[in-house]
Structure 1
């Protein structure tokens, strides 16, 4: 592996994922719920942007000026191509953190994001990043950072070290990273089958190895097989960020704000007895066996009065981005599966079922007769946003300014979807970020653009593309071999798209 990688896996590309927590618009509701003044974001930066999907979806769907870097030139090239297509003016580079963070042409930023970077880099790079945040994050600015943490990773640390040592020492000479990963996982299974004391003391490890075997190898390579890998306790993270004058603001995982679904009554009482907010977070991580933290940190937290908090929350607009019938009233939390109160959630969802954005104040007025108070609305919005059913909406002027950019980017991504199943997100100028849109749904949109208005026409359009490439659909784990079976399945999917998804995509200004 060449020196420019700094120990990071570079011979296999990262996945084309999108991470909604990186959306600056998402900070607003989290801060308001925590009683903090949210930032006004005009400039933003992502360090280690991977394939650049998040950066580009956010840059095209807002008026925020983005900059960022990723050390991998192939990934940076793709990201630059997306920025060029959208004409977003995002400044994206293939520089190391040291090179990028010492550029003289970068502005100060209102928002800096690092998703899945901190745990996989050296202390030298961590020092560079903290110094960059100290110098370049504005007063009142926000840092989003996600990272592997303790105690959830404690049992896996020695097994991860074993996997990487096997890949390095016993991996076949000249074998690619995927072959070495598979070989290392096979050895781990051999070891566990021998019933070592480690496995008896940590019975959950066998199940974790089984899950890893079923995961995308691009993800596994970048998650487990870098040279640097350190799950970090919350208190240690706070020590790292102290020189940059950062304070922990709140979790970027909205569901973390709802203690009732994460902590038992006894645990909640314990937490309430701890006066120090930072030590409360450390203790909470033990209660939930935290494995991965997603946090917002702020340079100078300012609290809102209760009146200010309520007034600004009432003006917050949201939109339902899933079909009403697809929204489950069950959520998975640290305490297991929880059932949401139908008497509260159904009226709220009914108000939003037309997929038109509404302010929380409008919801409050509409639901007074149902006996639902504002606090219940806020909690429901946090829960429904955490599972992707609801998203925050930006102002109309910004939506209109971003619309042409998102159209350009989306057309490019949909065109790529003709031959690829990797790009499963499109940009919405309404939400300021990405929306999950599967490959076939993107192709149905392309068919509509070409005036194929009926589901059967759209199905044929997609089938012609697949047949040309020798591709077939898979249903219930089985490949559909005949043209008739493929077309029948595409017809069913096109009908569902037209009846359940198209109106939502129109409301999001994607269709």
Structure 2
């Protein structure tokens, strides 16, 4: 019998995560920073879309037409349900990579995205994908791919091998995968307590096991327990990409584009002294001990003339998506926590504080009064965008088209929040991206749509919703049986929501 799973975990559904790097709009700022021409994206494709949260948010929140596949029919059916609700027209299938990538009825794509799956599939499937990209990505088109990378994973490779073999060899045939994962982690704890020489040589492994214990078991199943699992050196990835005629453009992580937060002055000088840019990128991974990369590759890299680049940068529209007084002037970087210069970031944040879209040129005009240079402004934009405090805004016509699609999708997701909190993302037509909104925040939004006007009314609506499911409010891991206590807690949450989160959701046209 043919194994339709190709060794990929199928008896546990993937998590309902959202991955903003898959949104084509994200590449605009990164490509402009690097002086690389970015395509206009009309047709896009996501390979291995999981539960379909990202692909459906991005289809609903933009004017891009999306296609995609995920081998798991249960996940594909759920993704198709979301696509039908939004009406955005995403074409989503449950085909294998081999079958989907050999189709002759697909359009040529301006953008193809893969999040994580590259590390968890066989070389045969990597070949299908590389051939598909070579055949179906337009000249000038972009591939986004994220993957586990060496050297950051090097210490964990032997332990991961032991964990998966323990799950396969020492578990009862009837054991569910979650049970096997738990027993594998218990085995790892026992082994490490014996202080084997391996653990002494690689002390970070014990920390990794501790962190794994805290993770959702569905996440662990897909992250660690697939048959195929291959962290890859950057230069090995480059060999695969060159088969598809792709050139490395830049990282999709904005922090990676800012040298001072990644390297010491000596490290930066050393990297600049390396004549080959691809080899330099590989050495960069050693500088930061990279374990996961999110990269843009382009079919036919074209530099943008400096004057045109500057004009395009200044025309970008930005929106502060965090309340001005809630933005922290700190950032976690490979060099440790970085303190952000108040003399630079204060004026930039003040110029964005209206929570309305403004162009980079408008911000530049304001911050010049405080002697903030254009270079400092661009670095601040990248850091704030990397922290999630700042978003690039779409054209108003795109926003207008996307808004009803987002409203339908968001209403459906918020309705699902009555039963549980699996999906914590809603779609913004302003940015074309997803916005993190927790279960009770979604219930508060739903209450507002249904006429609630006060925190008390929103809280009562949320409490009624969870009681209708036979559920109780949980605090510190324990069920709260007293309704008055539950309501009082939710009222406080609703007040906080109204003061902190709601203005952002209004600015993003989610509320």
TM-score (norm 2): 0.98
State the distance in 2 between where 1:80 and 1:465 align: 26
In the alignment, what sits opposite 1:363?
363
In the alignment, what sits opposite 1:145?
145
* 1:465-484 equivalences in 2 (<5 Å): 465-476=465-476, 478-484=478-484
Moved more, 268-277 or 496-505: 496-505
* Cα shift at 1:192: 0.8
Measured at CA, do residues 347 and 475 of structure 1 come closer, stay the same or move farther in structure 2, by a change above 3 Å? farther
Cα deviation digits, residues 261-317 of structure 1 (max 9, x gap): 111111111101101110011111011111000000000111112211111000001
In the alignment, what sits opposite 2:119?
119
In the alignment, what sits opposite 2:168?
168
State the distance in 2 between where 1:173 and 1:268 align: 53
State the distance in 2 between where 1:303 and 1:379 align: 20
Moved more, 477-486 or 98-107: 477-486
State the distance in 2 between where 1:81 and 1:105 align: 22
Q: Secondary structure at the match of 2:266?
A: helix
* 1:31-70 equivalences in 2 (<5 Å): 31-70=31-70
State the distance in 2 between where 1:23 and 1:31 align: 14
Moved more, 209-218 or 321-330: 321-330
* Cα shift at 1:323: 2.0
- Give 5+ residue unaligned stretches, structure 1: none
Q: Secondary structure at the match of 2:457?
A: helix
- Give 5+ residue unaligned stretches, structure 2: none
Contact persistence 2:426–2:510 (CA under 8 A): yes
State the distance in 1 between where 2:291 and 2:168 align: 26
In the alignment, what sits opposite 1:437?
437
Contact persistence 2:247–2:297 (CA under 8 A): yes
In the alignment, what sits opposite 1:419?
419
Cα deviation digits, residues 136-168 of structure 1 (max 9, x gap): 000000000000000000110000000000000
State the distance in 1 between where 2:314 and 2:72 align: 43
Contact persistence 2:418–2:469 (CA under 8 A): no
Moved more, 58-67 or 488-497: 488-497
Q: Secondary structure at the match of 2:173?
A: coil
Aligned-residue RMSD, C-alpha: 1.2
* Cα shift at 1:476: 4.7
State the distance in 2 between where 1:346 and 1:472 align: 43
* Cα shift at 1:471: 2.7
State the distance in 1 between where 2:510 and 2:59 align: 15
Q: Secondary structure at the match of 1:92?
A: strand
Q: Quick check: 1:288 aligned with 2:291?
A: no
* Cα shift at 1:478: 4.9
State the distance in 2 between where 1:365 and 1:163 align: 57
In the alignment, what sits opposite 1:297?
297
* Cα shift at 1:479: 4.2
Cα deviation digits, residues 23-46 of structure 1 (max 9, x gap): 000010000001111111000000
State the distance in 2 between where 1:268 and 1:479 align: 53
State the distance in 2 between where 1:463 and 1:2 align: 48
| 4+ aligned runs moved over 4 Å, structure 1 | 476-479
TM-score (norm 1): 0.98
* Cα shift at 1:503: 2.2
* Cα shift at 1:229: 0.4
* Cα shift at 1:2: 7.1
Moved more, 489-498 or 17-26: 489-498
Q: Secondary structure at the match of 2:369?
A: helix
* Cα shift at 1:83: 0.5
Contact persistence 2:119–2:228 (CA under 8 A): yes
In the alignment, what sits opposite 1:155?
155
State the distance in 1 between where 2:450 and 2:83 align: 25
* Cα shift at 1:372: 1.0
In the alignment, what sits opposite 2:455?
455
Contact persistence 2:347–2:367 (CA under 8 A): yes
In the alignment, what sits opposite 1:345?
345
* 1:249-288 equivalences in 2 (<5 Å): 249-288=249-288
* 1:119-268 equivalences in 2 (<5 Å): 119-268=119-268
Contact persistence 2:122–2:228 (CA under 8 A): yes
State the distance in 1 between where 2:235 and 2:440 align: 45
* 1:365-404 equivalences in 2 (<5 Å): 365-404=365-404
Give the total of aligned pairs: 511
State the distance in 2 between where 1:58 and 1:307 align: 31
Q: Quick check: 1:464 aligned with 2:464?
A: yes
Contact persistence 2:254–2:386 (CA under 8 A): yes
Cα deviation digits, residues 188-244 of structure 1 (max 9, x gap): 111111111101110111110010011010100000000000000000000011111
In the alignment, what sits opposite 1:89?
89
Cα deviation digits, residues 314-335 of structure 1 (max 9, x gap): 0001111122232111111101
In the alignment, what sits opposite 2:320?
320
Q: Secondary structure at the match of 1:498?
A: helix
Contact persistence 2:150–2:232 (CA under 8 A): yes
State the distance in 2 between where 1:437 and 1:323 align: 15
